[in-house]
Amino acid sequence: MSSFVKHQAPTKTSVKLAILLGIVWAALLAGIWFAYRGGAEQGGFLHFIARFHVLIVHLPIGLIFLVLIMEALGYFTAFAHLRPTIPFVLWLSFLSGIGATVVGYLLMTLEDYSGRAMNLHLYFGLAVVVFTLFALVFAVKGKRILSGFGTAVAAFATAASGHFGGAMVHEPDYLTEHAPAALKPALLIGLGTHAEEPAEGPAAGAGEAPVETPIGERLVYQDLVVPVLEKTCNECHNENKIKGKLRMDTYELLLAGAEGSDYPTVVPGKADESEMIVRVLLPHDDDEFMPPQGDPLQAAEVELLKLWINAGAKTDTTVAQLGSDPGIVAIATEVAAIHAGKEVETVAEVAAAPSVWDSLPEEEKTARMAEVNEAAEKYRFSVMPISAEDDRLRVNVINGAKDFGDDQLKMLEPVAERIVWLDLARSQVTDAGMKTVRLMRDLERLHLENTAVTSKGIAEIASLAKLEYVNLYGTKVDNGIFETFAKLPSLKKAYVWQTGVDPAEAKAFERSVNLEINTGVDLATPAPAAPAPQTPPAEKKPEPAKAAEPAKADAPKPAEKKAEVPKTDAPKPAAPAPANTPADAPKPAATPKPAETKPATPAPAAKPVEAAKPSEAKPTEAKPAAPAPAAKPAEAPKTETPKPAAPAPATPAAAPAPEKK
């Protein structure tokens, strides 16, 4: 016995159900539009469901193409058994299509997507559901040709919707990048190619390598701002995908801002009030942080955008017109290197960037020099070339130091890049003036003696990569200058006399870098070295003094010493001892040396002692039998050996000191 599945003829109920579901689908879309027509607030359970669109959308795509394959194979007898299952697969395609479009429309509304690619993706997605319903109805009714036609159109709409969806997520030319040239026009139908807009300019010469424009002459918007926007902003704010009703792919639309927003994207002259800057500076975990995906803007890119906006946010502004601060050139150079795939690794590379002064026309240079010379005449400071061969400038304010302050220093800004020697000694310059000094990118020598500059002001000049010499004598700097010195690669000599700098710390830092730091303490270094030898003789002096006490008991023996004194000290009184001894009071340190020489003299002195023994022979003869007195003379030489040292502290001992001199 066998069982068979009976295929009953389709009923009108199936057709009515399909049409009813189509009406419900249209009502859902209308309800979403009506509910969020005034704007949608992100978050919540519906937003969570909406993001499943990327998962659900792939189901109807596979099923519709499966139906198309089954329709084609059904014309062959070998695959005729597939035809009865086509309505069932169409039902699955229709239901999954309804789910994908409803969730997708909800996502588009909640996240405020719009744009050409977005609109085409939406329209073709809706067409998929409509033509799938068309194919289902005729498949249920057995209209094979009409069902096949509806399936084919639904498959085409599916492919088109996927294509425009890819163009919305990726770049418009994502599919055409490696396509044959003959197919590119067809694949780009309906899409805007904003990536082709920046192709204007002199650098686009046919077949010729573009000549690199000096950094000072580059247009800030076209050459630096546009690459920043293309990399991080235009992916979601372009002609094909307008998120938040904001387009940033053209200058006009960038300044126009988001449609209906109370916060302008760019406020010329006010970077802090521009929404674009506010968003990129938010914490990375903030929902409003931009860009929400991918790498955030680097610090140099953010600073460049702020500089451009504060300068008026114009399309014809050059880097040179942003200001003469070397930091501006460094930022522009770094941003250009980022977009060229390079890295600015050292300060020297930034310092090697082309000078803004060199990019100025001759008329502008002449006008700036005239302005500075007029100020020099008024405030009595000098501005002159380094030499006849070198037209760079040397500034000295010695003649007008009492009236030269931060305001007068600011008058040098028009020619700041030309100044290599700057002498501000004894002027009224403070830390505020160092903001002007840091503009002198080629500065080599800096004098700040006896000014009110502190370590905080010195920190302002950390970008002066060519600074070789700095004099801070008599200023209020402290050990904090070492952090700045470490950032100055060319610095070779620094004077910090009479400052708050710790000499020990200065020496320690000096050994760690190739830098000479003069603290002024080196001049007094011999004085502390002298007390070291003074301490030992001070300890030795009391010892001979004690030995001098028994010397009083031996009255005849000093007489012998008197004979010794003239031998060594006869010339000594002739020396101007009284005149020198007061001035050389600390010099008694030399006394231990003569004391050391006197122990050597007893050896020859032994001979006169023998001569003295005959004179003393008479008393010794009176005591011949007593062996004890014979031992006493042995003790006497023991006392005699320290006794020669006793005269050292005595008054004649002052004579050896001048002799040392």
pLDDT tens sequence across 523-533: 444 444 445 45
Query: What is the per-residue pLDDT across 366-385, written as a single tens digit (0 to 9) for each?
Result: 999 999 999 999 999 999 99
Is 496's pLDDT higher than 80? yes
**pLDDT of amino acid 546:** 44
Instruction: Please check whether residue 565 lies inside any domain of the structure.
Output: no
Residue 209 is classified by DSSP as P
Does residue 398 form part of some domain?
yes
DSSP-derived 3-state class of residue 422: strand
Q: Who has greater pLDDT, 39 or 97? A: 97
Q: How many domains does the chain have?
A: 3
Give the ranges where 521-616 is alpha helix by DSSP (H): 526-529, 531-540, 542-553, 556-569, 571-574, 577-580, 592-597, 602-615
Q: What is the pLDDT of residue 568?
A: 44
| Rounded to 5°, angle at Cα 387 from 386 and 388 | 145
Residue type at position 205: G
- pLDDT at position 444 is 94
Our CA angle for 20, 24, 26, nearest 5°, is: 115
Residue 587 lies in a domain: no
Q: How confident is the model at residue 129 (pLDDT cuts 50, 70, 90)?
A: very high
| Mean pLDDT of the 307-312 span | 90
Same domain for 302 and 230? yes
Residue 245 pLDDT: 75
Position 118 scores a pLDDT of: 79
Which CA distances in Å does 82 have to 73, 75, 77, 149? 8, 10, 10, 17
- Residue at 2 is within a domain: no
Q: Which tens digits make up the pLDDT trace of 570-593?
A: 444 444 444 444 344 444 444 444
Amino acid at 87: P
408 and 456 together in one domain = yes
Residue 542 has pLDDT above 60, yes or no: no
pLDDT score of 396: 95
Same domain (yes/no): 89, 228 = no
Distance CA 228, CA 244 (A): 19
User: In the predicted model, what is the mean pLDDT of residues 646-650?
Assistant: 46
Task: Mark whether 495 and 412 lie in a shared domain.
Answer: yes
pLDDT of 474 > 70? The answer is yes
Note whether residue 326 is domain-resident. Answer: yes
- As beta bridge partners, residue 196 has none
Of 508, 527, 529, the C-alpha closest to 519 is 508
pLDDT of residue 393: 94
Domain boundary among 335, 355, 375: 355
Query: Does residue 468 share a domain with residue 339?
Result: no
Kindly calculate the radius of gyration of the chain based on its CA atoms and give it in whole angstroms. Answer: 49
Residues 378 and 349 in one domain: no
User: Is residue 321 scored above 90 in pLDDT?
Assistant: no
Q: What is the CATH number of the domain that holds 388?
A: 3.80.10.10
pLDDT band at 629 (very low <50, low <70, confident <90, very high): very low
What integer pLDDT is reported at residue 191 of this predicted model? 66
Q: Which residue has the tokens 């309804």?
A: 98
Domain for residue 320, yes or no? yes
Q: pLDDT band at residue 190, thresholds of 50, 70 and 90?
A: low
Does residue 620 fall inside a structural domain? no
Same-domain status, 274 and 144 = no
d(CA 158, CA 547) in angstroms, rounded, equals 121
Residue 105 has pLDDT above 70, yes or no: yes
Look at residue 573 in the predicted model and tell me its pLDDT.
46
Is the pLDDT confidence value at 455 over 80? Answer: yes
Partner residues linked to 317 by β-bridges: none
* Predicted pLDDT of residue 352: 53
* pLDDT score of 248: 81
Average pLDDT over residues 612-618: 41
Q: What residues have CB less than 8 Å from 325, skipping those under 6 apart?
A: 438, 439
pLDDT in tens, 12-40: 678 888 889 989 999 998 988 888 876 66
DSSP per residue, 458-518: HGGGTT-TT--EEE-TTSB--TTHHHHHTT-TT--EEE-TTSS--HHHHHHHHHHTT-EEE
Within this chain, do residues 266 and 311 fall inside the same structural domain, yes or no? yes
Torsion, Cα of 330, 335, 336, 339 (10° steps):
160
- Is residue 28 one of the residues assigned to a domain? yes
User: Which pLDDT does position 92 carry in this prediction?
Assistant: 92
Name the domain boundary from 177, 205, 221. Answer: 177
pLDDT at 238: 67
pLDDT score, position 204: 39
Residues 243 and 348 in one domain: yes
Alpha carbon distances (Å) from 467 to 43, 130, 433: 56, 75, 17
Please give the Cα distance from 622 to 614 (Å, whole number): 13
Report the pLDDT value the prediction gives residue 9, as an integer from 0 to 100: 54
pLDDT value for 630: 45
Query: 333 and 457: one domain?
Result: no
Beta-carbon contacts of 488 under 8 Å, excluding residues fewer than 6 positions away, are 461, 462, 464, 465, 467
- Do 275 and 219 lie in a common domain? yes
> Mean pLDDT throughout 542-561?
44
Mean pLDDT in the chain?
A: 74
Helix/strand/coil percentages in the chain, nearest 5: 60, 5, 35
How many CB atoms within 10 Å of residue 84? Answer: 11
Given 161, 177, 193, the domain boundary residue is 177
Poorest-confidence range of 32-41, 206-215, 490-499, 537-546? 537-546
* Domain co-membership, 515 together with 367: yes
At residue 599, does pLDDT exceed 70?
no
Q: Which domain holds residue 281?
A: 213-355
Q: What pLDDT, in 10s, does the model give residues 205-248?
A: 333 444 467 777 788 998 889 888 888 887 777 676 677 778 78
DSSP for 255-312 reads: HH-STT-SS-S--TT-GGG-HHHHHHTS-TTSTT-SSSSSPPPPHHHHHHHHHHHHTT
Q: Is the pLDDT of residue 495 over 90?
A: yes
> Nearest-CA neighbor of 246 among 94, 112, 446?
112
Determine what percent of the chain is predicted with pLDDT higher than 90.
Answer: 24
